Structure formats: structure tokens, C-alpha cells
Amino acid sequence: MASIQKNSNTGDSIAVSNADRHSQTSGPIVDYDGFCSFSESLLCEESKSWSQRMKSTSKASDENHTVKGGTKTVSESVRNSKKQEEDDEENHIDADVVRDIIIGLSDGLTVPFGLTAGLSSLGSSQLVVVAGMAELISGAISMGIGGYLASEAERDLFRARQKILRTRVAGSSSDELRGLVQEILGPFGVQNSICNDVAQDLLKAEELETHFRLSQLHQKQLQKGTLRKLLNFFSRKPKAYASLAKINDHEHVSLTVSEPKTEISGMTNFLLRFGEGKEEVPTLRLYISAFTIGTSYFLGGLIPMGPYFFVEKANVALLWSSFVMFLTLLVFGALKSYCTGAKSSPASLLKGSLSTVVVGGGAAAASYFIVKVLEAKK
């Protein structure tokens, strides 16, 4: 049933039902225990997620610090390695120069020593000096020429092989060339996909080098052509023809193709260098080899001849020469072994010294006794 109540503010009467009266007196029905348990679980989940986020953040920060520290260590090691490489390059001696010095000194210390030992049996130091100097000069020239011819033959062999391989590369398919690159780089652990990329770049470089060589050849042919000869002939008289000759020169320049970025590029040179182990010998190398071998031979030959310049009796000078050469051959044998790789083995150094002494002493003894025998027959 509905009852009539009076509003306390306005004084109006309003009808209120029993349900409304019950709702006003008792209020909404709420489950407080369920609400509290739900709130506690929600707070626990939020705290767990927050703690997990904090842990992940701290872990990422630690990893970041670790990476930065590792990067710093790597960068320092890279800088140290670069510095070490620069120091090695500054102290580096060309292996070809070392080889030529060893060849020249080996012959210069043994051959003149054997010759002077043999001539000393004649008893005249003056004869030993004259004959020894003649042998030194002729031997140095001969050794220098031999070094030049050997380097020239190596260069010619490389160029001949280069022509053969260039023709082979031009007539081969891309798959065949990729297979050759894989055969060379595969044993080093390089993947086939990387080998294919390398082969593709090498073929592009080969094409660029081929265009450059063809342009150079075409330019030389134009310079030797009839038009060039006529323009050069007429340019001696009227000035107008001289200007035409200059224009022709500019046309020659415009026909050139950009030079490859590196001197050694392309598939051909790759196969030569890494497949066959051959490298081109520069023209300057020929003269350096000749000079190095000849000079080393001459300087090495002066050592056993030194005592003969100051001692008149050849027999006494031979004793001094033998003593000096014994020490010299010991030092030279050790240095030769050191330069060729026996840096950390005293036994190898001693072996190199003794072997050099045995060879040099054996040559001197053989020469001395041969001259003695020939003199006794006379």
C-alpha cells in the first residue's frame, strides 16, 4: 500500500509506496566480504606486475651496461690491434728484399772466401787482393743481372698466365665462375651464398676492367691512324691545322673510360692471386732486386778479403780471414734463421749458424786444397 508523506522542505504531500519506503529505510544490499577479497586480489596482481616490470627494467639496464662495457672493451681492443698493425707496418721489411739480401750475402760470403783461401796458397797477398776484387766486381754484376732476369721471367710468366685466364673467364658461364670461387673460398668456411655475391662483384669488376682496357686500346689505335698522321703533318704549317689537332686530342680524351678503382680487380686477378698464388711483379721490382743482390754480394765478399789489405803474408792473412769469417758466418746464419721464422727457437738459430759455417768453411777448404794440388802438379 502507498502512504502519504509530507515533504519537510516544501510542505507538499507525496505518495510513497511500501517498496520505496523499504528502500529508503534499508538502502542497497552489498556483499562486503566479496568486495574486499576482490580488491585484495586486484592489488596483489598489480603489485606482482609492477615488481615484474621493475625486474625486467633493471635486467635490461644491467644488460645495457654490460653491452656498453663490452663495446668499450671491443673498441679498445680494435684500437690496440690497429696500433699494433701500424707498428708492424713501420717495422716491416719486404720479404722479397730479405730474400735478395740473403741470396747476395750467402754467395758473397762463401764464394770470395773460397777464392781467397785458394789463392792464398800461392803466398802473395797482392795477388789475392787483385784477383779477389776482380771476382767481386764481376760476381756482383753477374748476380745483379741474374736477379733482374729472374724477376723479369716471373713477371712475364704472370702476364702470360693472366692472358690465358682472361680468355678462359670471358668464355665461361657465370655458374662455372661461381663454382671456381666456391672452390677457393669454400675451404675457408665461406658460405655458398656469400661466394655467389663475391663472384657477382668480381664479374662486375672484370667487366669494368675489360671496358677500360678496350678504351685504352682504341685510343692507341686512333693515335696511330691516318687522320692523326695527316693532322700532325699539316699542323707544322698553318696554325688552323694545329688547332684541329688539339681538338682531335680532346676527342681522344673524351673516349676514355674511367679507370678501375684498384690495380688488382676482377675475376681474372682473383683466380691468379688466390687460386694459383701468383702476383704481378712491378717493373721497379726488377731493378730493386738486381741492385739488392749485387750490392749484398759485393759487401759480403769484402769481409773475407779485409785481412789481405793489411797483412802482406797470404798465409797469415788467411788465418785472420778464417777467424773473421767464422764469426761472420755464425752471426749471418743466426740472422738468416731469425728472418726466415726461427725467432723463438735457440736450437734453430744454432742450427742455422752451424750449417752456414760448415758450408762456407767447406767451400774454402776445398778451394785451398784444389789450388795446392794443381800447384804441386806444376
DSSP code, position 13: E
In the chain, how many domains are there? 1
Coil, helix or strand for 343? coil
121 falls within a domain: yes
Q: What gap in Å lies between CA 294 and CA 280, rounded to an integer? A: 23
Coil, helix or strand for 308? helix
Say how many C-beta atoms besides its own lie within 10 A of residue 373's C-beta.
10
Coil, helix or strand for 95? helix
240 falls within a domain: no
> In this predicted model, what pLDDT tens digit does every residue of 249-277 receive, in sequence order?
444 433 344 444 445 578 888 888 888 88
279 falls within a domain: yes
Q: Kindly report the pTM of this predicted structure.
A: 0.59
Give the H or E element holding residue 16.
Answer: strand 13-16
**Are the C-beta atoms of residues 181 and 203 closer than 8 Å to each other?**
no
**pLDDT of amino acid 93:** 64
186 falls within a domain: yes
Q: What gap in Å lies between CA 241 and CA 305, rounded to an integer? A: 68
**Are the C-beta atoms of residues 26 and 37 closer than 8 Å to each other?**
no
The share of the chain scoring above pLDDT 90, in percent, equals: 9
Does residue 61 register a pLDDT over 50? no
Q: What gap in Å lies between CA 169 and CA 206, rounded to an integer? A: 9
Phi, psi of 9 (to 5 degrees): -85, -45
Say how many C-beta atoms besides its own lie within 10 A of residue 318's C-beta.
24
258 falls within a domain: no
At 311, the pLDDT band (50, 70, 90 cuts) reads confident
Coil, helix or strand for 94? coil
Query: Helices (DSSP H) in 16-172: which residue ranges?
Result: 18-26, 32-90, 95-120, 125-170
> In this predicted model, what pLDDT tens digit does every residue of 90-129 receive, in sequence order?
445 677 888 888 888 888 888 888 888 888 877 778 888 8
| Domain hosting residue 332, numbered range | 104-210+275-377
The torsion region of residue 353 among left (phi > 0), alpha (psi -120 to 50) and beta comes to alpha
Coil, helix or strand for 1? coil
Q: What gap in Å lies between CA 46 and CA 56, rounded to an integer? A: 15
Q: Higher-confidence residue: 22 or 152?
A: 152
Minimal CA–CA distance to 122: which of 323, 318, 361? 318
Q: What gap in Å lies between CA 341 and CA 351, rounded to an integer? A: 13
348 falls within a domain: yes
> In this predicted model, what pLDDT tens digit does every residue of 180-215 receive, in sequence order?
888 888 888 888 888 888 888 888 887 777 776 667
**Residues in CB range of 112: below 8 A, 6 or more apart:** 132, 135, 136, 139, 300, 301, 304, 305
Coil, helix or strand for 292? helix
269 falls within a domain: no
Say how many C-beta atoms besides its own lie within 10 A of residue 197's C-beta.
13
**pLDDT of amino acid 353:** 83
82 falls within a domain: no
Minimal CA–CA distance to 296: which of 351, 353, 350, 335? 335
